[in-house]
Amino acid sequence: MLTKNDIVGFLKENGIAHDDKVTVHASLRSVGPVEGGADGLIEAMCSYLDEGILIIPTHTWDDVVRDKPYYDVRTTFPCIGTLSEVAFLRKDGVRSLHPTHSVVAFGKGAADYIKGEELCGSPAPVNSCLSRLYEENGKILLIGVGHERNTYLHSVDERLGIPDRLNPDPFVITIKDYDGNLIQSPPFHTHFTKASDQCVSEYYPNYKEAFEYTDAVKYAKLGNAKVYICDARGMTDTVRMLWQRTDHDLCIRKEKIPEEYYRNSEE
């Protein structure tokens, strides 16, 4: 069974600092038994990030939709798995007011970090919680999942202005905050890519080899799970380089990105 000490040791051995801002996507089933379950994992990570912030996505994009444009920060249940659900139910975190891509943040400064998310007009605009991982030199841990679950990459698309990523037909979402106040979102543009047969996130694994080459992503093991240890700034800069060198959309189908897009020209 994975213990608190195992989890703390994993973070320390893999270059996570006590003051880092760390986002976690996880398949707990892939990890195997964890002391205390999902709560135990959160508590161990929080204890190590004693000067940082642990960020658990609690997304609701499957339920907060055009036909039901309503998000209650206290009651709208996450749609993305056990760790998200447990984070939502805990009392020591603070959930953001983003209507479709909320997070629960734990740690010092967590409340300040998630402020203003009700002003987002898309899933991950610049200055949102996810996007600011770039400025904060944040990390993303993908535990037992791959880049198809790497929500941060949506923020990269938005930061770089990648075309054909947002629905051009917005709608307004009603947000209910912790005090029961009702807030109207700006006109909200959901994810949508006309040229793709599914969400582009399913094709983010196309970036895998490039991320490896630039050291933006490294790998480790936690329990039985493979973990992608992702550097937010490194991934962003790698994607920027790839898009400067391509003549077509890199994430609308499964394809191998040419090595010359990311290898140094002198090699």
Per the structure, the complete domain to which residue 158 belongs is given by: 4-261
CA distances to 21, 110, 117, 120, 256 from 92, rounded to whole Å, are: 17, 10, 19, 24, 43
Tens of pLDDT, residue by residue over 159-175, are 999 999 999 999 999 99
Q: Assess if residue 97 is contained within a domain.
A: yes
Position 96 pLDDT exceeds 60: yes
Q: In this structure, which amino acid lies at residue 189?
A: H
Q: Assess if residue 266 is contained within a domain.
A: no
261 pLDDT band, cuts 50/70/90, is very high
Position 87 pLDDT exceeds 90: yes
Position 59 pLDDT exceeds 50: yes
Output DSSP code: residue 166. Answer: B
Average pLDDT for residues 201-205, to the nearest whole number? 98
Q: Assess if residue 267 is contained within a domain.
A: no
89 pLDDT band, cuts 50/70/90, is very high
**Cβ neighbours of residue 75 closer than 8 Å, sequence gap 6 or more:** none
pTM of the model: 0.96
* pLDDT of amino acid 150: 98
Q: How far apart are CA 105 and CA 114, in angstroms?
A: 7
Tens of pLDDT, residue by residue over 207-244, are 999 999 999 999 999 999 999 999 999 999 999 999 99
Position 178 pLDDT exceeds 70: yes
> What does 3-55 look like in DSSP terms, one character per residue?
-HHHHHHHHHHTT--TT-EEEEEE-HHHH--BTTHHHHHHHHHHHH-TTSEEE
Report the chain's mean pLDDT, rounded to a whole number.
Answer: 97
* pLDDT of amino acid 161: 97
* pLDDT of amino acid 265: 43
Q: How far apart are CA 69 and CA 77, in angstroms?
A: 14
φ, ψ at 213 (rounded to 5°):
-65, -40
- Tally of domains in the chain: 1
Position 264 pLDDT exceeds 80: no
Q: How far apart are CA 251 and CA 236, in angstroms?
A: 15
First-to-last C-alpha distance (Å) of the chain: 45
Tokens of 227: 């973990």
Q: Assess if residue 98 is contained within a domain.
A: yes
Q: Assess if residue 29 is contained within a domain.
A: yes
Tens of pLDDT, residue by residue over 108-119, are 999 999 999 999
Q: Assess if residue 153 is contained within a domain.
A: yes
Position 267 pLDDT exceeds 50: no
Q: Assess if residue 177 is contained within a domain.
A: yes
Position 266 pLDDT exceeds 80: no
Q: How far apart are CA 99 and CA 94, in angstroms?
A: 14
188: enclosing H helix or E strand: none
